[in-house]
Amino acid sequence: MSEQGKVWFVGAGPGDPDLITVKGRDLIARADAILYAGSLVQQAATQWAPPGCLIGDSKDMTLEQICAWLIAQARPGKTVIRLQTGDPGLYGALIEMVQPLDAVGVTVEVVPGVSSAFAAMAAAVESLTLPEVTQTVILSRVEGRTPMPGGEALRDLASHRATLCLFLSITLLTTVERELKAAGYRDDTPVLVVHKASWPGEQQIIRGTLADIRQRCRDARINSQAMIVVSPTLGARHWPTLTKSKLYDATFSHRFRRAERGQAEETS
């Protein structure tokens, strides 16, 4: 077996090239070879690549072809990058790609990226969590051609009444509506859909309810690359009253600030 090098799995973020991490950008700037997921990652994310860098697009490649490409480029002293949308560890087939590299002795490192779940909420100026509303975020998807493990059906997850961020499910809004209603959600439950969150010139934000979000998305011709968010926090920006965070409350002590009015000090 010939001596092998290293492959970096880099999260390109949700779409806007400026949302890649500094570490990811710096790796691209000294890369010898980059294989990016062209069906999801903007080619602009490769703009920092140096002259002479080999750049490939994997949108029409199989898993075996992707791994073979990475292995062929991985040599000692070479910087080889697999550039993936969002974060490599979230719906990124990371382990499927890492195992063949492990088998031939190629070293692997992962650079995390900004998820489209976070970018979607940022685009809409919404919060995933709020005090005394929900402190839990569930990242999931609706069952389609890929089955869900036991206990992870949408109606089961929805029973927690936490923030739901649904990936890869925009063509399954009928199922979303059915499953959420089965979990007790009402027709007027607010729903947020963000298409191509952060993509310059392409981002679309659709707000609606469980009863009308499917038609709103149809009218906007959104049928791919969209994040669906169902959360009790949606719209909180316009609520007349809001439970404030204890962290910034003058009556709440922590290790950096003593309470002003005799509040017991936080011990946790």
Crossing angle of helices 63-73 and 94-103, in 10° steps, is: 50
Instruction: Say if residues 196 and 204 touch (Cβ distance below 8 Å).
Output: yes
Distance CA 176, CA 24 (A): 35
DSSP at 191: E
Q: Considering the chain, what is the average pLDDT of its residues?
A: 91
pLDDT for 144 equals 81
User: Which residues are CB-neighbours of 121 under 8 A, at least 6 positions away?
Assistant: 127, 128, 192, 229
pLDDT for 3 equals 63
pLDDT for 253 equals 64
pLDDT tens digits, one per residue of 115-170 = 999 999 999 999 999 999 999 999 999 988 888 899 999 999 999 999 999 999 99
Instruction: Say if residues 77 and 31 touch (Cβ distance below 8 Å).
Output: no
Instruction: Say if residues 169 and 143 touch (Cβ distance below 8 Å).
Output: no
Distance CA 265, CA 257 (A): 9
pLDDT tens digits, one per residue of 206-239 = 999 999 999 999 999 999 999 999 999 999 999 9
Fold assignment, 117-234: 3.30.950
Per domain, the residue ranges of the chain are 6-114, 117-234
pLDDT for 117 equals 97
Instruction: Tally Cβ neighbours within 10 Å of residue 155.
Output: 14
| Burial tier of 267 (Cβ tally within 10 Å: 0-12, 13-18, 19+) | exposed
The CATH number fitting domain 6-114, selected from 3.40.50.300, 3.90.180.10, 3.40.1010.10, 3.40.50.970: 3.40.1010.10
Cα 122 from chain centroid (whole Å)? 12
Assess whether pLDDT exceeds 50 at residue 1.
Answer: no
